[in-house]
Structure 1
Amino acid sequence: MRYDYDYLIVGAGMVSANATAGIRERDERGSIGIVGSEPNGPVTRPALSKKLWTDPEFGFDKIWMKPEDKGATLHADTRIVSLDRDHRTVTADNGDVFGYGRLLIATGGEPKKLDLAPSERVLYFRTVEDYRRLRELAGSQRHIAVVGGSYIGTELAAALALNDTRVTLIHPEQVLGDRVFPPDLARRFQEMYHAHGVTLMGGRRLASGRQDDDTVTLTLDSGETVAADAVALGLGVEPVCDFAAAAGLAVDDGIMVDEMLRTSDPNIFAAGDVASYPDNLLGRQRAEHVDNANRMGQQAGAIMAGSEAPYTHTPYFYSNVFELGYQAVGTLDSSLRTIEDWQEPQSRGVVYYLEEDVVKGVLLVNLKERLDAAREVIKERTPGDREALIGRIR
């Protein structure tokens, strides 16, 4: 089949729904097509590891984003495999061809995988189907191993522990969170997991694994083994830009775009997890966070429909585990010098991350609505000391 659209979006995730809204703000009639490998269309992905597990009043029906309501045509469960820039078409793995006036690539990322095949009990956690399956496997004191100590791994371990599940969290850090948090906060972060009954196996990596009927057995690099009813892996993602690179678009840890989110082809744009963009405060980066998907997706749609406003937003990221909630802007790296400003000991405050005395990142712990102030501190780019920073954000 052949389909033609004024605006074609490849990738059926959060960016596509937001881009549709951005297009419709400026163009009420242009045809919009969304084609992506996601089987269900756009969803609010953070809910899959957060609210759906922790908020009884947050129903499953609330995760769905519906670009069809704004006149977009959705082609889900369809993977694009090639791009023909001369003829302005993309081709799917089923042979369908999609023509475009302007193209937005929003293919996001795919989970990093190890030498352990995915199955009904081995989940590289990313999709709605992964959530549904993990829900079926959780509870009743069944045992689930979680591999990975970053955002997805720590959120899943906390969510499972709060839902009547025995959890073993396997991660490479000596203290959970110590690559991001200063030492005292990392110890407190780890202690929360101990207090909620999570078995922590730090300083270890997965070497191999096998599934025998209803049991998954993991072998760690330490030689230890862990037998569980299932394993959920949260190892980060790789940007999906293979067909873009094959078509000659500039790619370097993502598809390279300018401040107008335009690629090296003036008719093709990129946004979300897959886009490497010039951030006003932080320099060129690729952001895998929901705030970026929302804001960049919206702006990409507006630009495609004629807006001349560049993307200038510096996104934040956040996580909620047990009683700790945090938001952050910039670089969080515990190897940087940190200055801590606690309003309540280790439970409410600010951590500044400095490189050569210049603030590169700001962590807000249980301190909402201060993200703009955090951005301002980074924007100043002037040397800061403890006296200047303590009390700066309240």
Structure 2
Amino acid sequence: MSNPIEVKSTLKPAYDHVIVGGGVAADKAARAIREEAPEASVLIISDVGDGPLYRPGLSKDLWLKAGTTLEDIDLGTTQTGAELLLGTTVTALDPASHTVTTSDDQQIRYGRLLLATGASARRIDTPDDDRIVYYRNADDYRHLRSLVSEGTRVAIVGGGYIASEIAAGLSAVGADVSVHFPNNRLLEQMFPDSITGHLTEVYESKGVSLNSGFRLSSIRAGRKLTLEPETGEAVEADVVVLGLGAIPNVRLAEEAGLEMEQGGVLVDETLQTSAPDVYAAGDIATFEDPLLGRRRVEHMANAERSGDAAGRTMAGNRTGYRYTPLFWSDLFDDGYEALGETRTSHRVEEVWNDAHDAAVLYYLDGDRVRGVLMWNTWGAVSKAREVMEASKEGQLPLSELADRITPGG
């Protein structure tokens, strides 16, 4: 794993490219810059103590694959020749002077800058107790792993993406896991009843207790942690994991006066912000999706592709970002790949195979396909893109949907 560099002895006053943020987008940008401009100087500044990691591994492989370590998901960004300044926060950005200021009052000049600051876990008012965990980075993994052993009672609050994945992971290492969420079923904001009902059966068969209609009021810390709901019975646990969503880290951009939209930093087709020589990628970028219009996306494929595109443009190879990001997950023995707006506030058309163990779900706004989810169906993302493109152009009658992608194929 990468270690923080000695700032006073190695940091230069100026770099051709400065990247603020230490995730996948930063890694991809550094690699793209090296390919396009091998002699360019690159500095990555990150407020965490580890170099860029393959972040899905934090909630998947590290729990589900025996023997997997943080080293196994380290992206090896130092191989790009970039310098990594870790455990350091950028406190100010001045586009006019092309400088950033760090938390130890160093001022660094850049030729071009990439903001790839990602998102942070949404927090609430809780006691200052090490047994209450928000889950986002490698330090969170180390800490949670140190707290959990066979039979540890872990209560997870949240009913979304991270909560569902970490519940599966903790169950796999022998924890006594319960999940508490306000909706009727886990992940019902994404999946229709046909899938949420199946998932309920699967999670409970693995020993995970699912508790719907739970709205957290407060947490009390004593010998045990006690979750107090707005109504109903309190819940005791040894460890509490709060999976309440994420908030994009846009403070630096806002304070620098960059144009914002939809909670993110507005970028053009090359991912340049409203400030000259300042780019944004990954979770914080509000970009023009070719199939869905202007949006902001917090998924790995978006971080990878936008980081690469931004890096190439910064290094002189103007690269347009015209991409509709996919995302995926594995939930015990089931899995899915998805594209676009997969939310049940849209009308959902379901196409199942005969065995009823694989499906293709189409998310419709009127006659327009806004998202496609392939449940236990692999290798069909390109077909899903074709469906959404044809629908956008008005060339896809809804009566033809069932024949476009074969479930389970």
Q: TM-score normalized by structure 1?
A: 0.96
Match of residue 185 from structure 1: 195
The letter for the 1-side match of 2:253 is A
Check the 8 A contact 1:145/1:231 in 2, yes or no. yes
Check the 8 A contact 2:15/2:41 in 1, yes or no. yes
For the residues of structure 1 that align with 2:252 and 2:398, how far apart are their CA atoms? 48
1:261 equivalent among 259, 263, 271: 271
1:208 pairs with 2:248: no
1:293 pairs with 2:303: yes
Check the 8 A contact 1:144/1:232 in 2, yes or no. yes
Check the 8 A contact 2:265/2:284 in 1, yes or no. yes
Q: Deviations over 1:153-181 (max 9, x none)?
A: 00011111121111110111112222211
1:127 equivalent among 124, 134, 137: 137
SS at match of 1:314: coil
The letter for the 1-side match of 2:114 is L
For the residues of structure 2 that align with 1:244 and 1:38, how far apart are their CA atoms? 19
For the residues of structure 2 that align with 1:187 and 1:32, how far apart are their CA atoms? 49
Q: How does 1:162-311 map to 2 (within 5 A)?
A: 162-213=172-223, 215-252=224-261, 253-311=263-321
CA pair 88-324 structure 1, distance change in 2 beyond 3 A:
same
Q: CA deviation at 1:384?
A: 4.8
Q: Deviations over 1:196-251 (max 9, x none)?
A: 111111111211002225x2111112242111111111111111111211111012
1:44 pairs with 2:46: no
What is the percentage of aligned positions where both structures have the same residue? 39
Q: CA deviation at 1:346?
A: 3.8
Check the 8 A contact 1:261/1:300 in 2, yes or no. yes
Q: CA deviation at 1:336?
A: 1.8
Check the 8 A contact 1:359/1:383 in 2, yes or no. no
Match of residue 101 from structure 1: 111
Match of residue 403 from structure 2: 391
Match of residue 64 from structure 1: 74
SS at match of 2:22: coil
Match of residue 360 from structure 1: 370
1:314 pairs with 2:324: yes
Q: Structure 2: state its 5+ residue gaps.
A: 1-7
Check the 8 A contact 1:9/1:106 in 2, yes or no. yes
Q: Deviations over 1:3-32 (max 9, x none)?
A: 311000001111111100111111000100
Match of residue 40 from structure 2: 30
Q: CA deviation at 1:344?
A: 4.5
1:331 pairs with 2:327: no
1:79 equivalent among 68, 89, 93: 89
Q: TM-score normalized by structure 2?
A: 0.93
Q: Deviations over 1:84-128 (max 9, x none)?
A: 112111111121212100000000011100111454211110011
Check the 8 A contact 1:89/1:99 in 2, yes or no. yes
Q: CA deviation at 1:385?
A: 5.2
Q: How many residues align?
A: 393
SS at match of 1:181: coil
Instruction: Tell me the C-alpha RMSD between the 2 structures.
Output: 1.5
SS at match of 1:353: strand
CA pair 170-385 structure 1, distance change in 2 beyond 3 A:
farther
For the residues of structure 1 that align with 2:102 and 2:127, how far apart are their CA atoms? 25
CA pair 181-111 structure 1, distance change in 2 beyond 3 A:
same
For the residues of structure 1 that align with 2:354 and 2:45, how far apart are their CA atoms? 48
- Please, which moves more after superposition, 174-183 or 336-345? 336-345
Q: CA deviation at 1:57?
A: 5.4
Check the 8 A contact 1:13/1:38 in 2, yes or no. no
The letter for the 2-side match of 1:277 is F
For the residues of structure 2 that align with 1:41 and 1:52, how far apart are their CA atoms? 17
Q: CA deviation at 1:41?
A: 1.7
Q: CA deviation at 1:302?
A: 0.5
Q: How does 1:128-143 map to 2 (within 5 A)?
A: 128-143=138-153
1:8 equivalent among 18, 23, 31: 18
For the residues of structure 2 that align with 1:67 and 1:116, how far apart are their CA atoms? 35
For the residues of structure 1 that align with 2:354 and 2:169, how far apart are their CA atoms? 25
SS at match of 1:372: helix
- Please, which moves more after superposition, 136-145 or 114-123? 114-123
Check the 8 A contact 2:15/2:42 in 1, yes or no. yes
Check the 8 A contact 1:111/1:125 in 2, yes or no. yes
For the residues of structure 2 that align with 1:195 and 1:181, how far apart are their CA atoms? 19
SS at match of 1:390: helix
For the residues of structure 1 that align with 2:368 and 2:128, how far apart are their CA atoms? 44
- Please, which moves more after superposition, 66-75 or 339-348? 339-348
Q: CA deviation at 1:386?
A: 5.2
For the residues of structure 2 that align with 1:384 and 1:176, how far apart are their CA atoms? 32
